Structure 1
Amino acid sequence: MGYARVDVSGLGLLWDQAQIRKVAAELGLDFADMVIYDPRFQRPPLARLKAQVTRLDAEAVIVPSAAHFEGGEIPVDLIRRMDVVTVTPEESYARRNTPPWPDSPPTQAGRA
């Protein structure tokens, strides 16, 4: 999936969409959908993205940059749910790399 905010991309929205599709192709991902968020007309920014992720059972979301998320930071709850890839800078935030919460009990090998 791709995700971009109209208010962040501005006139570069079409370029950002093209870059998202390009990165998906380079990574060998089957591109399913593009979620374009416009704060003038839609509910909270991540609500539609999370709904589409669930509906399509998406494994990853590609964004032009972290600036497309509130505060310029990729939400930890999104990383727990799926891999997040930014176009600029080229970075991947994989689910398996998410550190446990500080109050989580340590896991032992062989236990789930």
Structure 2
Amino acid sequence: MRPQPAAIGFLRHDVSGAQQQWDQAQIQQLAQRLGYDLCKTLVFGPETDRPLQRVRTAVSRLAAEAVITPSLDHFGGRVPDDLVRVADVITVSPENTYARWLLPPIENR
């Protein structure tokens, strides 16, 4: 068992463009600040076949608790529902966590 929960980074090089290295550094820094062991950063482009399936496979293989991305733009502007079912999705800018687990509503008794 790891001393810290595992995370993977994800970005699209066509979205990051010239700031790809900056985006990767921001993913690393946020992972460290939040207490994650950043195991791997996946860098895909528009030519990548089934990118979300590849991310989910990496989450499963690495037993990752979170996927950290520079922004939702790297996922086409929205949180992928099937990914957030298996891992938290964390964005660097704006910093936000889309958590897997929601607390059930409190019932009035």
- TM, length-normalised to structure 1: 0.81
User: Which residues of structure 2 form unaligned runs of 5+?
Assistant: 1-7, 105-109
Residue 51 (structure 1) shift: 1.4
More divergent stretch after superposition (43-52 vs 18-27): 43-52
> What SS does the corresponding residue of 1:84 show, helix, strand or coil?
strand
Runs of 4+ in 1 over 6 A off after TM superposition: none
Aligned alpha-carbon RMSD (Å) = 1.5
Query: In structure 1, what residue type is equivalent to 2:67?
Result: V
* Aligned-partner Cα distance in 1 for 2:23–2:95: 13
Residue 57 (structure 1) shift: 1.0
- Which structure has the highest helix share of the two? 1
Match of 2:84 in 1: 79
Query: In structure 1, what residue type is equivalent to 2:84?
Result: I
- TM, length-normalised to structure 2: 0.83
Asked which structure has the greater CA Rg, the reply is 1
1:42-81 to structure 2, matched below 5 A, reads: 42-70=48-76, 72-81=77-86
Match of 1:93 in 2: 98
Q: Which has the higher contact order (CA 8 A, sep 6+)?
A: 2
